[in-house]
Structure 1
């Protein structure tokens, strides 16, 4: 074996040792980062569960019944409900002034305006 080959092999050995060293510590850094993310995910899941439990407790019917008098809430009586004939006839004109987007079978979208029906014999 010549001296040039020996120097080349020693440099090749040093290069592979250096790259292995840096690769090892890069993997260690990535593992630390992954563990940190896993801990953060676990904390977030615990926080979501806590908030869901808190929401369930706050919206429980027994709690609402207990808090209702403090908020001047009273049960609905039949006298407070309106009959259908007493409601204004807004259903006929609700969409008259709006432009609606209609999706055609071809995938194109075109604007459309609805025409209201006549109210009390008078067109709107």
Structure 2
């Protein structure tokens, strides 16, 4: 098996930590977990609890430069984020025949409430 490096976005969360664990169990896979704070208790526990080549890398989805560093040398990316918690429940853009074509919120906008998000799905 060819050695690979996988980056898990959202790897300190409930789903992402399971993805990181499954990837680390594969022979020849180095796992990098993207986190805003590699020194956090959750991030440190993740690295300590999972056997294999697992480490955290600092990065923030709102900081493009941190992502450039985090993606260096990565072969695979697994993204496990709360997408639906940050999606904008606004109606589709004009002249769009695609029900799913909705703009994502910008960093300046307020995230929708859970009920707004569920109504949009």
Normalised by the shorter chain, which TM-score bucket? Answer: under 0.3
TM superposition score normalised by structure 2: 0.16
TM superposition score normalised by structure 1: 0.16
- Answer 1 or 2: which has greater helix percent: 1
The structure with the larger Rg is 1
Whose relative contact order is higher, 1 or 2, with alpha carbons under 8 Å and at least 6 apart?
A: 2
- Answer 1 or 2: which has greater strand percent: 2
